[in-house]
Copies of this chain bind each other. A is one copy, B any other.
Amino acid sequence: MSIHSVRLLINSFIKRPCTHFRSFTNSSCLFNKSTARYQYQRELTKREANLHKQFIQRYMAAPMNDENVEKLLEPFRAAVKVQGDIVKQMKDSNVNKEDAEFKQAINELKIRKKKLEDQIAKAMPKEESIDRIKMEDLLKRRFFYDQSFSIYGGVNGLYDYGPMGCAIKANMLSEWRRHFILEEQMLEVDCSMLTPEIVLKASGHVDRFADFMVKDVKTGECFRADHLIEAHLERLLKAKDIAAEKKAEIERLLPQVDNMKGPDMQQVIEQYKMKSPVTNNDLSEPVAFNLMFATSIGPTGQLKGYLRPETAQGMFVNFKRLLEFNQGRLPFAAAQIGNSFRNEISPRSGLIRVREFTMAEIEHFVDPTDKSHPKFETVANLQVQLYTATNQMSGESARFVRLGDAVSSKLINNETLGYFIGRIYLFMTKVGIDKNRLRFRQHMGNEMAHYACDCWDAECKTSYGWVECVGCADRSCYDLTQHSKFSGERLVAERALPEQKKIQVNEVLPHANVIGKSFGKDTNQITQHLQKLSHEDAKVLHDKLDQGDEKITIDGKEYTITRKMFTFRTSEKTVQVEEFVPSVIEPSFGIGRIMYSMWEHNFRIRPESEQRTYFTLPPLIAPYKCVILPLSGNEEFKPFVKDISALLTQGGISHKIDTSSGSIGRRYSRSDEIAVPFAITIDFDSLKEPFTVTLRDRDTFKQIRAKIDEITNVLQGLSSGTITWGEICAHYPAFVEQQSTTNAQ
């Protein structure tokens, strides 16, 4: 096998080609196998490419491009564009972002965008919306998830995943690990959720991770201020007798609520005389409420801690160890899967806004002067729906753009960011997200954190609107810089210089004996503090001491430092490398939100009955790969159920056994409900050699008949995606009716 064909083999789409142990004992057959696999995979690649093309063609003629709808939307798009241009002009002229006129222009842009979005929502064809009540009923009835502690009345914003939700989640995380961690050789970590306050001071969460809330002054019940105001205003809008003037005023106000601070909110609450929606009592003034759960670590009550609000910080504080693990080389990515916690004021929207949730985050550390990516080519040809800041400013829809073009035209800031957008796209579609309802929305300048240089959210369209499921941000060097500042550790990497150079080095050499006379047992602490000073800080201290004694503070304690306590040494040094603070590109996945969107995108109702609801989850993600159904309670079927179950267990195929008494049709429906893609039925023909069963496909209802000892292989292929149902149908005889009913007892 030439190295060339090995390379081709690698570039194909197939993963995990399972192989039989006989390959070892009879290696002569290996070459043939590999060749066959190679050809097979090349065909698959072609097929994938075709499917992709068909999809693009279909989508480009999708409802949103319908002429009448476009005519309707046209003035709204134009209105956004006019205002977008004004904002752009102001930005280009380097306006101060705190300027009142600029703020007003931004506000106006938001108002117009909101109107456009409302119009688009109205124009959405009926069939794209789903019956959420029916779907959530199914999810709860078959215990995909449900409210936690409901035998005690439940707690808002906390949910438990039952066996089906849990299996889907485990499958999704295992695919995430394979798709991201294994593929890129990322360094996975598993860090503490309990986090001391200082870490979250550094990250900014202690000071800024808050929402405004108002309290019912009598009962103490709390409401999230922006939600309460929006709900009140929307209720007013719906009133039949609302005056045109009032309506316009509210329509202008609504899009601004999102960005209001406490005093603005208070003004609106007073102006509209808003009361508690539950008791009609007066409301308190809005106060900022930090969304982190606080606790005390250890028994003294003196170490304040929080439950982490994101998994990212664990990777930043471990940066040095990870860099060392990677033998000092950049770029590398850290990854973490784990739970985070946010004490939402009044959680709503089911699984979309919860108080405890699983995240999967990547921190890709990279030299800020080189954000190219060696594997960008592998995603450059993907056509991904991008909703750029420019689209949003111009009232345009999201557009399908080739990722290679998006990066070369600087729509997307750099290759690494573009690579991750491509990989996120591939992951999302593989786990069952509908390509039609997935877009990448770029943050507009005013939404983005001041340190970020580009940020895209992967959003899924659901009955709650477009939901942010994955964030993908280039956060520049903000996080490492902050932790360096707060911890005193230098979180930097080194790059080789094109040629060696001379630099000036300032060193602090503490005289422990002199320090000891003044500060006794604190000597060590002071010595260490001073030795850790950067060259620049050491220089500054040196210069200050020339003017007189200087006070420094360590752990809240103040010390007066004098000139005699140290020697300062300035020298020249020849260096081959220079230090720098790496940039970080952060793809951050909300697993619960992806799962929820996936359920909505795969929920179906059979045309023949409103009661027959099911999920078309891909086999890779489905909670069980198959169900085993004996045709009846006949004793002769029982050993077959047991044996087939054992064979599947051995083959690593998760499955369910349904020996309940319902009719076979009813039992098929029950397994369709929990998204089981395939059903093995044991009937009277199964009892005779060559021992066969039928295999039924959830989505097409079609059945084939196969030998028992082939079933494991078939299901392994179908579950991992190396074989399609269509190929199985072409190879095996279709099953139409029960042959041996005469044997029935």
Residues of A within 8 A of B (CB): 1-3, 6-7, 9-10, 14-25, 27, 30-31, 33-34, 36-37, 40, 142-143, 146, 148-152, 155-156, 158-163, 165-167, 169-170, 174, 177-178, 182-183, 185, 187-196, 198-199, 213, 215, 220-222, 289, 293-300, 302-303, 305, 307, 314, 317-318, 320-322, 324-325, 327, 339, 341, 343, 345-346, 355-356, 483, 486-487, 489, 491, 639-640, 643, 646-647, 649-652, 654, 656-657, 660, 689, 691, 707-710, 712-714, 716-717, 722-723, 727-728, 731
State the 8 A-B residue pairs at the shortest beta-carbon distance, nearest first.
A18-B18, A10-B646, A161-B190, A222-B299, A163-B187, A160-B191, A151-B487, A148-B192
A6-B647, A691-B1 as given contacts; A325 in contact with B143, CB under 8 Å? yes
For A34, the chain B residues whose CB sits under 8 A away are 709
For A152, the chain B residues whose CB sits under 8 A away are 196, 198-199, 317, 486-487
Give Cα A159 to B191, complex, Å.
7
Q: For residue A154, which residue of chain B has the nearest CB?
A: B196
Give Cα A24 to B643, complex, Å.
21
Q: Are B178 and A652 neighbours in the complex by a CB distance under 8 Å? A: yes
- Of the listed residues A6, A341, A640, the one surrounded by the most CB atoms of chain B closer than 10 A to its CB is A6
Checking B189, B199, B650, B712 against A14 with a beta-carbon cut-off of 8 angstroms, the contacting residue is: B650
CB distance from A740 to the nearest CB of B (A): 17
Give Cα A314 to B151, complex, Å.
11
Q: Are B713 and A24 neighbours in the complex by a CB distance under 8 Å? A: yes
Give Cα A531 to B710, complex, Å.
55
For A10, the chain B residues whose CB sits under 8 A away are 643, 646-647, 650
Q: Are B188 and A170 neighbours in the complex by a CB distance under 8 Å? A: yes
Give Cα A105 to B398, complex, Å.
80
CB distance from A2 to the nearest CB of B (A): 8
For A491, the chain B residues whose CB sits under 8 A away are 151
Q: Are B17 and A20 neighbours in the complex by a CB distance under 8 Å? A: yes
Q: Are B27 and A710 neighbours in the complex by a CB distance under 8 Å? A: yes
CB distance from A690 to the nearest CB of B (A): 8
For A712, the chain B residues whose CB sits under 8 A away are 17, 19
A146-B321, A165-B190, A660-B327 as given contacts; A289 in contact with B299, CB under 8 Å? yes
For A199, the chain B residues whose CB sits under 8 A away are 149, 152
Q: For residue A334, which residue of chain B has the nearest CB?
A: B163
CB distance from A633 to the nearest CB of B (A): 14
Give Cα A685 to B616, complex, Å.
50
Checking B314, B317, B722 against A21 with a beta-carbon cut-off of 8 angstroms, the contacting residue is: B722
- Number of this chain's copies in the complex: 2
For A483, the chain B residues whose CB sits under 8 A away are 151
Q: Are B489 and A151 neighbours in the complex by a CB distance under 8 Å? A: yes
Q: Are B222 and A300 neighbours in the complex by a CB distance under 8 Å? A: yes
Q: Are B299 and A185 neighbours in the complex by a CB distance under 8 Å? A: no
For A324, the chain B residues whose CB sits under 8 A away are 143
Q: Are B302 and A220 neighbours in the complex by a CB distance under 8 Å? A: yes
For A25, the chain B residues whose CB sits under 8 A away are 731
**Can you list 26 contacts pairing A with B, beta carbon distance less than 8 Å?**
A1-B707, A3-B639, A3-B691, A6-B691, A18-B18, A19-B712, A19-B716, A21-B722, A22-B37, A24-B727, A31-B709, A143-B322, A148-B191, A151-B489, A155-B194, A155-B303, A162-B325, A166-B188, A166-B189, A170-B188, A182-B652, A194-B341, A194-B356, A293-B295, A294-B296, A307-B307
For A7, the chain B residues whose CB sits under 8 A away are 639, 643, 646
Give Cα A118 to B660, complex, Å.
57
Q: For residue A167, which residue of chain B has the nearest CB?
A: B188
Q: Are B300 and A640 neighbours in the complex by a CB distance under 8 Å? A: no
Give Cα A439 to B39, complex, Å.
53
Give Cα A650 to B188, complex, Å.
19
For A191, the chain B residues whose CB sits under 8 A away are 148, 160-161
Q: Are A723 and B188 neighbours in the complex by a CB distance under 8 Å? A: no
CB distance from A635 to the nearest CB of B (A): 14
CB distance from A511 to the nearest CB of B (A): 25
Give Cα A15 to B648, complex, Å.
10
- Of the listed residues A188, A307, A654, the one surrounded by the most CB atoms of chain B closer than 10 A to its CB is A188
For A289, the chain B residues whose CB sits under 8 A away are 299
Q: Are B294 and A295 neighbours in the complex by a CB distance under 8 Å? A: yes
Checking B17, B650, B728 against A15 with a beta-carbon cut-off of 8 angstroms, the contacting residue is: B650
For A160, the chain B residues whose CB sits under 8 A away are 189-192, 314, 318
For A651, the chain B residues whose CB sits under 8 A away are 16-17, 19
For A166, the chain B residues whose CB sits under 8 A away are 188-190
A149-B196, A160-B189 are known contacts; what are 4 more A-B pairs with Cβ within 8 Å? Answer: A15-B650, A161-B191, A162-B189, A298-B343
Q: Are A185 and B17 neighbours in the complex by a CB distance under 8 Å? A: no
Give Cα A198 to B19, complex, Å.
53
Q: For residue A211, which residue of chain B has the nearest CB?
A: B299
For A33, the chain B residues whose CB sits under 8 A away are 20, 22
Give Cα A174 to B171, complex, Å.
11
CB distance from A226 to the nearest CB of B (A): 14
CB distance from A342 to the nearest CB of B (A): 11
Q: Are A6 and B222 neighbours in the complex by a CB distance under 8 Å? A: no
Give Cα A142 to B289, complex, Å.
41
Give Cα A321 to B140, complex, Å.
10
Q: Are B300 and A220 neighbours in the complex by a CB distance under 8 Å? A: yes
A20-B33, A717-B21 as given contacts; A654 in contact with B343, CB under 8 Å? no
